[in-house]
Amino acid sequence: MRTNLTTLLGGAVSALALSGAALAQEDVTITVWSIDGANQVGPSDTFSADFNELDNGITIDYRVLQFDEIVNETLRAYATGNAPDIVSLDNPDFALFSSRGAFLDITDMVAESDVINPDVYFEGPLNSVMWDGRLYGVGKYTDTIGVFYNADMLEEAGLEPPQTWAEFEAAARAMADPENGVYGATLSARGNEEGTFQFLPVIQMSGGSYENVNTEGAREWLTMVKGMIDDGVMSQDVLTLGQWDSTGTFNSGDAAMAISGPWEIDRMVEDADFDWGVTLLPTFEEGDERSSALGGFNLGILSTTEHPEEAFQVLEYFVSQDHRLFPEFGYLPTRGDIELPESGIPEKDAALAVFQEQLQYAQPRGPHPDWQQISKAIYDAEQAALTGQMTPDEALSQAQATIDGILN
């Protein structure tokens, strides 16, 4: 019995020693934070699991965060020295970190990489990961906005899909049917990032930018939308509805057009019992410069990482899986060199072709480290003008003054 115990103990000790030795050459752990997997399966969680199966000496420790928390949580983790190695952020939040050197400058690593080639990326997503001419990350997936239209109603009114804002208004007014609770159009002018997301393209296509918001076109557009709300062509609820809920009214046939993005397509295929289509975001005059919003997430390596080489390998792996983004998750890649396979649903394929064209005109919000403050000035102005608290000129002048204070 006694010998037995000694042997057992000896065995246990040597086992411990062995596992100690194994620990010494154990995998490098790379922590990845993203919102993928919070509501539905997404690329980052799937690719992390696949990467771990490769068993190549690097293990990904993946953590899911909620959309509302990821910036706060990363800020706090960075400030207290517990930051992850890789984090995935919404593109306008990216500059908050890259501008302060919180993201690792990967320009030189990318130059030597066989997997990541900056030249194939769309200009908008690429700009959102650049700061001061240096590269701080890669785009994960992207989206943009266009105009969904109810083809049945449009045909009934004898109209073509609108190409200018004037046509957009005319079509909305023609199709609105207040008696039956049908609005002519819907969009999101909500008092948060979604409002800026949809309003900034209007500023940009009329010659402005986030640095210069008080353009004639922006004033005209606000007057037009205010008029439509006042006349009941558009619901006053566009001021509080997010894009998902706003487009929900389109799907149920209660709005003839909706401004929103490709994330709506799958639900629309299910819910909408009418023919629908997508057209590019209108311009002011035919042939004018186009613009649209740039959505989507980026991936970056935090500068505090202890394993920059391994973290970069993980990044390369994620990028090498870009061809799976669309077939598996319905996300659009941020680069132009990936063919999207046809889904076999004609409306869906037609819509995606439009959104891919629209992506060429998509411009990032910022990049600016104080983007959230700039964005608030922009959506506050939109809301002040649309509620009639201020004239479009007063609202945009006030936003301009606030933005000037932030930029200088």
Partner 1 sequence: MRRILSSITDGKGFDLVLVGVTMIFLLALAGLPLVYNVLLSFQEVDMFNLAAFQRPWAGLENYREVISQPEFGLVMKNTGIFVFGSIAGQFVLGFALAIFFMVKFPFASTIRGVFLVSWVMPGLVVGAIWGLILAGDYGVLNAILQSLGIIDGTVFWKSDPRLSIWAVTIANIWLGLAFNMMLLSVGLAAIPRDLYEAAELDGANGLQRFATITVPMMRSTIGAVLALGLIYTLQQFDLFPAITEGGPANSSTVAQYWAWQWSFRIFDFAKGATVSVMMLIFVLVASIVYVWSTRAEVRG
Task: Determine if 341 is a binding residue for partner 1 (CB under 8 A).
Answer: no
Q: Which sign does the torsion angle of CA 303, 62, 125, 373 carry?
A: negative
Task: Determine if 330 is a binding residue for partner 1 (CB under 8 A).
Answer: no
- Given the rule CB under 8 A, which of 33-41, 160-168, 235-243, 331-339 is the region that contacts partner 1? 235-243
Task: Determine if 191 is a binding residue for partner 1 (CB under 8 A).
Answer: yes
Spatial separation of the C-alpha atoms in residues 257 and 183, rounded to whole Å:
8
Task: Determine if 199 is a binding residue for partner 1 (CB under 8 A).
Answer: no
Q: Are 367 and 291 in contact (CB under 8 A)?
A: no
3-state secondary structure of 379: helix
Task: Determine if 316 is a binding residue for partner 1 (CB under 8 A).
Answer: no
Task: Determine if 260 is a binding residue for partner 1 (CB under 8 A).
Answer: no
Task: Determine if 387 is a binding residue for partner 1 (CB under 8 A).
Answer: yes
Amino acid (1-letter code) at residue 77: A
- Closest separation between CB of residue 161 and partner 1, Å? 25
* Residue carrying structure tokens 């799976």: 324
**Long-range CB pairs of 244-250, under 8 A, 24+ apart, other chains included:** 246/186, 246/187, 246/188, 247/148, 247/186, 249/183, 249/186, 250/148, 250/150, 250/186
Report the residue from 187, 380, 392, 396 that binds partner 1 according to the rule CB under 8 A: 380
Spatial separation of the C-alpha atoms in residues 292 and 289, rounded to whole Å:
10
- Given the rule CB under 8 A, which of 78-86, 128-136, 209-217, 277-285 is the region that contacts partner 1? 78-86
Report the residue from 102, 109, 281, 293 that binds partner 1 according to the rule CB under 8 A: 102
Q: Give the DSSP letter of residue 239.
A: G
- Given the rule CB under 8 A, which of 45-53, 56-64, 153-161, 190-198 is the region that contacts partner 1? 190-198
Q: Binding-site residue total for partner 1 (CB under 8 A)?
A: 36
- Given the rule CB under 8 A, which of 259-267, 325-333, 335-343, 375-383 is the region that contacts partner 1? 375-383
Spatial separation of the C-alpha atoms in residues 222 and 199, rounded to whole Å:
9
- Given the rule CB under 8 A, which of 122-130, 149-157, 164-172, 371-379 is the region that contacts partner 1? 371-379
Q: Are 17 and 72 in contact (CB under 8 A)?
A: no
Spatial separation of the C-alpha atoms in residues 84 and 60, rounded to whole Å:
11
Task: Determine if 251 is a binding residue for partner 1 (CB under 8 A).
Answer: no
3-state secondary structure of 184: coil
Spatial separation of the C-alpha atoms in residues 360 and 230, rounded to whole Å:
34
Task: Determine if 398 is a binding residue for partner 1 (CB under 8 A).
Answer: yes
Cβ closest to partner 1, residue 72 vs residue 209: 72
- Closest separation between CB of residue 248 and partner 1, Å? 10
Torsion, Cα of 162, 163, 165, 169 (10° steps)? -10
- Closest separation between CB of residue 30 and partner 1, Å? 22
Task: Determine if 239 is a binding residue for partner 1 (CB under 8 A).
Answer: yes
Give the footprint of partner 1 on this chain (CB under 8 A): 71-72, 75-76, 78-81, 96, 100, 102, 181, 190-192, 232, 235-240, 249, 254, 372-373, 376, 380, 383-384, 386-389, 398, 402
